[in-house]
Structure 1
Amino acid sequence: MSAESSPGFTPTGTIASSIDRRRVVVATVIGTTVEWYDFFIYAFAAGVVFANLFFQPMGKDFAQIVSFFSVGVSFLFRPLGAFLAGHFGDKLGRRPMLVITLLLMGASTTLVGLLPTHAVIGVWAPILLILLRVVQGVSAGGEWGGAVLMAVEHAPRKKRGLFGAAPQIGVPIGLLLASMVLALMAQIAPGAAFDAWGWRVPFLLSIVLIGVGYWVRRRVSESPVFTEISERKEETRMPIVQLLRHHLLLVIVAALVFAGNNAVGYMTTGGYVQHYATDPAGPVKLGTGPVFWVVALSGVTWLIFTGLGGWLSDRLGRRTTYVIGWILQLVGVVLLFPLTDMATTGSLAAALVILTVGLGLTYGPQAALYAELFPASIRFSGVSISYAIGAILGGAFAPLIAQAIFQNTHSTVGITWYLAGMTAIGLLATLLLRDRSGIPLGPEAEAEQAVSPIRGMSKV
């Protein structure tokens, strides 16, 4: 009996009903929102309070660098999460991995909110903090690939960019929620009270969000592509080995595409702008609460342009949408610090809003772009590992690099050149790829999918 005639078979790229379609979109948006709310509150706290609470004996400047390092160290473990989730996601299904990664992230985030500081338990405080950050990194490394494939592989062929933007907009929504909750806590518990207990509340609230995300994700159906692979009994035994043996160059190019976006995005999501704008010894000296509200506003514009980027990529193509986005992202990079240094809430808002236009247009199409690059049997592994490597090359240590540049030069010019260079790398990597918008995603089209997306190559 063929897969197409077998009971329960769902054709690739279709959803049985509008209810199922909404369920898939809601599940990917909510789950990704929860994951990245957890991730961002850590990054923001690292930029504002962790240096003093967990790393103070290292001295003010070095403590802040180590605090930003603790943000970046989780990225080093994203590939582990990507390897594990990719391997089991290609063998056991997309949905189980989404539930596991959500629970891992929620548990580690809640425990950060309960963690004693250095003043209470000494050196164990930073050690445990970094260990929990490592767990967050493993979770984040496995989360993204499963979420985007659930969205894109369920999508109609001509709406993959739009559907793929669903998990993507979960990231700016997570940024928005994290910023709003921290801003509210800065008002409820200002100054010393925020350092004493106010920062903990957003971490503890994670347990509520995890419960919602778990309930939603358990209700969504498995990806039709994986269902078809299972029906055909064509699961790849060692998907990671096949990926690295036959698709390594593609993984590197895809990773560089994301690196160009991620390095710039982590100026806000990694906590650097928050630290730069609120540092009492710095050039701007804005209040913590207003800065968090401004970052929340930038989360709204990032959300809008991420969704717009996915929608445009269905009409203009993934590659063209990316190129437009890279140009606008470069404009945002050039204006970021001159506007921020005007030291008003309005100028900071203008800087971050302009920056998020390009960020959104180079983030919205990513899910569809990545899904269309890799063959069905190793797709989870391909998108997850490319994303994880791109995050290491891009955002992992961007706040640390920016802080080191500023401390050594007492100027933001070097930071601007660094971010412009990462944007240029993302643009060049994009230009190396063919546009594969609309390519069949099911296992019946593996031969077509095996034609290399890299320009000038006929095979992967």
Structure 2
Amino acid sequence: MPTDLSDRTNDPEQQRLSPPAKRAVKGACFGFFVDYFDIYLPVVALTPAIAYFQAQHTPASVAATLSYVTLALTLIGRPVGAIIFGRIADITGRRRATLIAVAGAGACTLLMGLLPGYATIGWLSIILVLLLRFVGGVFMGGEYSSANPLAMEASPKRLRGLVGGMIAASYPLGYIAISIVVAITFQFAPAGSPDSPYVQWGWRIPFFVGAALSAWFLLYYRKVEESAAFKRVQGAEKPKSPLRELLTGEHRRKLLQVLLLMTGMWFTVQATLSATPALLSAVIGLPSTEVNTGLLVANVFVAVGYLVMAQLGQRFGRRRMLVLSGIWTVLLAPLAFVAMVREAIGAAAGDGSTLLVMVYATAALVLTVSPWGIVSTYIIERFATGVRASGYGIGYSLAVIIPGFYAFYMLGLTRLMPYEYTPIVLIVLGGVLTAIGALRGPETRDADLD
């Protein structure tokens, strides 16, 4: 019998993480940090320089949509990666799948930083951006599909909420890190016109940093041991295909419930976190540097929100907190978003406060994004060991496809309302689906992962 990664005793209060388990948890946190640093490169680093890849006099709404589509294709590639690497993780091991996935993602990020612009190869430049972000998204989908289940399987039951919150908090830390990198780059390569230093070459620096982080992660993760729970099921009869097993019987019902929940979660995060940078800078006209700095600070509060929500889920139940988060997303988040847009329009016209804009933006982000501190733990607890990586990866990622086209929904909604307010519809829809999806599933905090 392989040695478990966590020290388990009859007294739950004495359970603690063993040194190998700590390495697994740190690896998952580091991997999620690198993943989200990379995934939001188009939003934070490329949005101020999107003119480098497009013709002059491109309308602001089209420029913003190109930024959104770049992110959307990255997100759409993730479920493809979850299917591919979830199967690898469930059959050959979580560790191996993680190493392959991060190596591929890092290579795509490096190639992005080497791309020529519209002035050199025309519209082929933006096509290559979209292609590399999609392929990179495939590899990114493999990272968390493998590393996060490994870390959760290594964790004692009473610590799973905290571990899940720590992993999730690595996401806003990744956002903060990329915001800092871009802010520093702005100091010696200012953004502005299409001929500004940042647009011409400065945007490449964050991509090179992302590639370096992937290489650093690979060096660290070589020290992480394989999941003991996975080793145990290796000795038993494994399903011929984890994906086929996942799409039948009880596993299929679980997957459908998770997909409903996660569709709602993705709608809310797309309408707030993903849409906000381009909305405030490219559409409303606030300075990119101020927006970048404000969102950096906002994500500090989001990181704290993840940890708070993770602990509340461990204390009062993950299902209950997800239901409540859906309700307050519907009732409170739209109010914060409307206040943010109104103040931003005033600030762009010289009659408002950018600081107040970012206060409202922070409130909207904390309300809608903090519940993600529960999500990974909840989904991983829903599936058996033999299909856990596939179930978690597909459930987490496949749900992004419909919300991933949020930019087009926003354009369509302009027939009914001003473009700046269109994300509110998606926020409300996301809150409703989140609450319904959570209600249709059970509580999972007492689930065994052996």
Same fold per superposition (TM over 0.5): yes
CA apart distance, 1:361: 3.8
Q: Does 1:273 align with 2:272?
A: no
Q: How does 1:16-27 map to 2 (within 5 A)?
A: 18-27=18-27
Which amino acid in 2 is paired with 1:397?
A: F
Identity among equivalent pairs (%): 24
2:399 aligns with: 390
1:173, 1:154 → 2: CA distance?
23
CA apart distance, 1:346: 1.6
Contact 1:12–1:225 (CA under 8 A) maintained in structure 2: no
1:457 aligns with: none
Q: Does 1:78 align with 2:86?
A: no
Which amino acid in 2 is paired with 1:427?
A: A
Contact 1:161–1:310 (CA under 8 A) maintained in structure 2: yes
CA apart distance, 1:128: 1.5
2:201, 2:416 → 1: CA distance?
33
Which amino acid in 2 is paired with 1:422?
A: G
1:225 aligns with: 229
CA deviations over 1:120-176 (Å, ceiling 9, x no partner)? 112321222111011121012222222321221111111211112232112111111
Q: Does 1:434 align with 2:442?
A: yes
2:230, 2:317 → 1: CA distance?
25
Which amino acid in 2 is paired with 1:160?
A: R
CA apart distance, 1:119: 0.8
1:241 aligns with: 244
Contact 2:27–2:224 (CA under 8 A) maintained in structure 1: yes
CA apart distance, 1:90: 0.5
Q: Does 1:211 align with 2:195?
A: no
1:268, 1:29 → 2: CA distance?
23
Taking structure 2 as the reference length, the TM-score comes to 0.89
1:58, 1:242 → 2: CA distance?
52
1:126, 1:425 → 2: CA distance?
34
Contact 1:325–1:362 (CA under 8 A) maintained in structure 2: yes
Q: Does 1:305 align with 2:305?
A: yes
Taking structure 1 as the reference length, the TM-score comes to 0.87
1:388, 1:367 → 2: CA distance?
11
Contact 1:161–1:314 (CA under 8 A) maintained in structure 2: yes
1:450 aligns with: none
1:286, 1:119 → 2: CA distance?
26
2:389, 2:17 → 1: CA distance?
25
- Per the alignment, in what secondary structure is the counterpart of residue 100 of structure 1? helix
1:64, 1:275 → 2: CA distance?
6
CA deviations over 1:102-130 (Å, ceiling 9, x no partner)? 11111111111110001111232122211
CA deviations over 1:59-113 (Å, ceiling 9, x no partner)? 3243442342232123332222111111111001111111111111111111111
1:119 aligns with: 119
> Cα gap change, 1:418/1:266 in structure 2, threshold over 3 Å: closer, same or farther?
closer
State which of 347, 361, 376 in structure 2 corresponds to 1:352.
Answer: 361
- Per the alignment, in what secondary structure is the counterpart of residue 341 of structure 1? helix
The worse-fitting range, judged by mean Cα deviation, of 165-174 and 55-64 is 55-64
Which amino acid in 1 is paired with 2:242?
A: P
2:335 aligns with: 334
Q: Which runs of 5+ in 1 are unaligned?
A: 1-5, 443-460
CA apart distance, 1:269: 4.1
1:295 aligns with: 295
1:439, 1:415 → 2: CA distance?
36
Q: Which runs of 5+ in 2 are unaligned?
A: 9-14, 345-352
- Per the alignment, in what secondary structure is the counterpart of residue 70 of structure 2? helix
1:381, 1:193 → 2: CA distance?
44
The worse-fitting range, judged by mean Cα deviation, of 172-181 and 71-80 is 71-80
1:162, 1:393 → 2: CA distance?
30
CA apart distance, 1:390: 1.5
CA deviations over 1:308-337 (Å, ceiling 9, x no partner)? 221221111111121232233331233113
The worse-fitting range, judged by mean Cα deviation, of 136-145 and 10-19 is 10-19
1:445 aligns with: none
CA deviations over 1:253-290 (Å, ceiling 9, x no partner)? 202212222222224543x21122123xx44x321111
RMSD: 2.2
2:52 aligns with: 53
Contact 1:298–1:353 (CA under 8 A) maintained in structure 2: yes
Aligned pairs, number: 429
2:318 aligns with: 318
CA apart distance, 1:57: 6.7
CA apart distance, 1:207: 2.5
